[in-house]
Amino acid sequence: MYTDRFGTLVQKLRLLPSVGSKSAQRMALHLLMRQRTGALELAQALQEAIEHIHECSICHSLTEHEICDICQDTERDDGLLCVVESPADVFAIEQSGSFKGKYHVLHGHLSPLDGIGPEEVGIPYLVQRLSQGQIREVILATNATVEGQATAHYLVESCKHLPIKITRIAQGVPQGGELEYVDSHTLHQALTHRLPLNQSS
Amino acid sequence: MYTDRFGTLVQKLRLLPSVGSKSAQRMALHLLMRQRTGALELAQALQEAIEHIHECSICHSLTEHEICDICQDTERDDGLLCVVESPADVFAIEQSGSFKGKYHVLHGHLSPLDGIGPEEVGIPYLVQRLSQGQIREVILATNATVEGQATAHYLVESCKHLPIKITRIAQGVPQGGELEYVDSHTLHQALTHRLPLNQSS
């Protein structure tokens, strides 16, 4: 029913995350019927991205150069290192504009059942980076999921021989969060780590 | 924050239907981190599809040849023509395996407010095809939306001078549909066009 090349296109579009066969067919038809020039531009953008974008040799985020812009930035604090699970987290934190140190991107999180241990996640390389003595505080900003928490816990164990302050990003009620819809674990964290608002508290 | 080529890739991925900036970023990262070979294969599939897939010169569905497989199929009934809004509808009907005639694909539906009239939808070409005398019945299978209904109505008016039987696909309760969740317009249609189940009814 499909032509060969249409079938191939649908199959390759399914490589995209969260794209099933129906969505892939819809995308293929949309490109062929309404975005033929755009489809060629997308093809070229894909080729150029794969050819030129790779991991930064220092922080493992994505860059088009040997070392990424953030690692090269001399105005950022070299003593403060934020550890995240993926380049997407670097983008998210940068968008918040609230961090002016450097980053270290792990390859995801520990997941022993999937055979993903400290080596696969790149923890030995991180510990080696921390051992060089330039960093005074490491902020663990892995996700607040079970795996992210386990990874943060493992990192604390791995770094406890180093003279470095280790912190974890705060957990609590998100901005705009209505208490009645916040899960009980989050509420527990928010109450346990409540902050003083006046002198005498 | 993004590298140039990463930004371009995200922007081009947004050309896909239902893909916003967050999804596009996620797709770009997924391809760069986990599907580098797949990304190149997708790029090639896009280029090949755009280069080789175009409209069938008879039915306006998509094909890699001058005339599509369905139009070329001599075992299908040339006297029965099913009119749909897009090639996706041809796929859907073919998947149902319940039609053995030929197709005619319009360019969407009438939408006067968007400047899409009979010419843009390709109705004159359809009327010309029907005037050649080979077709004895035309099945209007435009969508059961307001626009699809309006397009079907316009087609009936455009074809009434021709000695051709015009039918519309049935509307009613879908297979597996529970009555309490079916909208009232559909229920109205289902009751109005109820079918006799025994001789005396």
Summarize pLDDT for B65-89 with one digit per residue, the tens: 999 999 999 999 999 999 999 999 9
Contact B23 A18 (CB under 8 A): yes
Tokens representing A197?
């608002």
Count CA atoms within 13 Å of residue A52 on its CB side.
Answer: 16
Whether the CB-CB separation of B106 and B126 falls below 8 Å is answered with: yes
Backbone φ and ψ of B110, nearest 5°: -65, 140
* Residue pLDDT, tens place only, B128-140: 999 998 999 999 9
Whether the CB-CB separation of B183 and B174 falls below 8 Å is answered with: no
Best CA proximity match to A145, nearest among A109, A190, A181: A109
Where do we find the tokens 């197709």?
B103
> Which pLDDT score is estimated for A184?
87
Backbone φ and ψ of B81, nearest 5°: -120, 125
Buried b (16+ CB within 10 A) or exposed e, B62-101: bbbeeebebbeeeebeeebbbbbbbbbbbbebeeeeebeb
Interface of A with B in 72-101 (CB under 8 A): 86-88, 91, 94-95
Tokens representing B27?
């797709």
Contact B31 A49 (CB under 8 A): yes
> Which pLDDT score is estimated for B78?
94
pLDDT above 60 for A201: no
3-state SS, residue B153: helix
User: What is the CA angle A75-A80-A81, rounded to 5?
Assistant: 110
Q: Mean pLDDT lowest for which of A14-18, A86-90, B39-43, B193-197? A: B193-197
The minimal CB distance from B1 to the residues A2, A29, A94 is found for A94
Contact A49 B6 (CB under 8 A): yes
H or E element: which one contains B103?
Answer: strand B101-105
Task: Report chain B's mean pLDDT, rounded to a whole number.
Answer: 92
Task: Name the band, by pLDDT with cuts 50, 70 and 90, for residue B190.
Answer: confident
Its ipTM equals 0.82
Which whole number is the average pLDDT over A120-148?
94
Whether the CB-CB separation of B102 and B83 falls below 8 Å is answered with: no
Contact A2 B53 (CB under 8 A): no
> Which pLDDT score is estimated for A195?
84
Q: All domains of chain B, ordered by start, with CATH?
A: 6-51 (1.10.8.420), 77-168 (3.40.1360.10)
Tokens representing A162?
């180093």
- The alpha carbon of residue A30 is apart from the nearest alpha carbon of chain B, in Å, by 7
Which whole number is the average pLDDT over A111-129?
93
> Which pLDDT score is estimated for A1?
58
- The alpha carbon of residue A188 is apart from the nearest alpha carbon of chain B, in Å, by 30
Which whole number is the average pLDDT over A181-199?
85
* Residue pLDDT, tens place only, A50-104: 999 999 999 999 999 999 999 999 999 999 999 999 999 999 999 899 999 999 9
What's the first-to-final CA gap in chain A, in angstroms?
Answer: 72
Best CA proximity match to A51, nearest among B2, B43, B131: B43
> Which pLDDT score is estimated for B60?
95
Q: In whole angstroms, what separates CA A54 from the centre of its chain?
A: 15
User: Does the beta carbon of A6 lie under 8 angstroms from any beta carbon of chain B?
Assistant: yes
Contact A49 B62 (CB under 8 A): no
Contact B15 A39 (CB under 8 A): yes
